[in-house]
């Protein structure tokens, strides 16, 4: 009788062990505490780390609460580990995102932000980032911060074809920036519109123009004047109307 009773128990135990072996091993970092972070890009939110599709999307520079960070085997290369962050949105929705695309602080440039290759004013100045760019703090050392923008930055907005420069993981003294969530949101809106406006694709450019006009007409954004200046570059870059040939009849 004892053997008969133990057989179902053994079967159940074996099934549980088999199920456990079939799951990906997840390693949670020890001693973790919830912290605030910001998304560097638009990010997909996944129900599980191995989910095939995102359940919803987070906005650039969206503030989230990181509940924990876990390491799981890479689906394409199981010998390699990838970092996922379990986060909670302000809506209460929880899920997993790529942990490498989160940073501790977000800001928007409200003046010119000088970028250096080292955390010293005697270092090489790489560029001056104009207002309207949204950036993120990677690391802080005294008065200096290593910053990240996620994209190449426009060195000037008020030119028909402004130059782009990649300055991620470089240093700045964060004067002339705002940490205000409303200002950051307005910066994200302006930046997205301006990037589309300067895109070579005609459809994106048209949408960017429309978005910039909305910012200007609404007039509430801190970057409404800047949006107007960007739109003015289209007028400056338009080819001048050819003068009529000498002796030609007036229209």
Give residue-wise pLDDT tens across range 26-66. Answer: 555 566 799 999 999 999 999 999 999 999 999 999 999 99
**Of residues 80 and 38, which shows the higher confidence score?**
38
- Both tokens of 196, joined, read 């589309």
So what's the architecture of 28-103 in CATH? Roll (2.30)
Structure tokens at 244: 């009529």
CATH 2.30.30.40 region(s) of the chain? Answer: 28-103
Q: For residue 240, what pLDDT is reported?
A: 46
Report pLDDT digits (tens) over 212-232: 999 999 999 999 999 999 999
What confidence score (pLDDT) does residue 195 get? 95
CA distances from 97 to 39, 57, 82, 92, 93 (A): 9, 10, 11, 15, 12
- Tell me the two tokens of residue 247: 């002796």
Percent of the residues in the chain that have a pLDDT greater than 90, as a whole number? 74
**Per-residue pLDDT for 2 more than 60?**
no
pLDDT at 20: 41
Rounded to whole angstroms, the Cα distance separating 211 from 190 reads 8
Would the pTM of this model clear 0.85, i.e. be above it? no
């Amino acid at each position: 009788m004892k053997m008969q009773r133990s057989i179902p128990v053994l079967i159940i135990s074996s099934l549980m062990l088999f199920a456990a072996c079939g799951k990906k091993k997840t390693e949670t970092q020890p001693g973790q505490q919830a912290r605030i972070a910001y998304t560097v890009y638009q990010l997909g939110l996944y129900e599980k780390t191995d989910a095939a599709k995102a359940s919803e999307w987070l906005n650039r520079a969206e503030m989230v609460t990181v509940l924990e960070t876990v390491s799981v085997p890479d689906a394409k290369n199981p010998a390699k580990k990838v970092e996922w962050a379990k986060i909670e949105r302000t809506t209460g929705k929880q899920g997993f995102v790529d942990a490498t695309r989160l940073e501790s602080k977000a800001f928007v440039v409200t003046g010119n932000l000088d970028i250096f290759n080292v955390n010293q004013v005697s270092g090489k100045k790489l560029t001056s980032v104009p207002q309207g760019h949204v950036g993120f703090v990677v690391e802080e050392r005294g008065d200096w911060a290593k910053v990240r923008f996620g994209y190449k930055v426009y060195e000037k907005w008020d030119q028909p074809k402004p130059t782009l420069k990649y300055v991620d993981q470089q240093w700045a003294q964060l004067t002339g920036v705002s940490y205000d969530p409303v200002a950051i949101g307005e910066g994200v809106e302006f930046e997205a519109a301006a990037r589309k406006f300067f895109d070579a694709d005609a459809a994106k450019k048209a949408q960017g123009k429309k978005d910039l006009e909305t910012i200007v007409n609404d007039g509430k954004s801190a970057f409404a004047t800047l949006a107007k200046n960007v739109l003015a570059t289209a007028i400056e870059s338009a080819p001048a109307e050819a003068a009529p040939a000498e002796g030609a009849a007036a229209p």
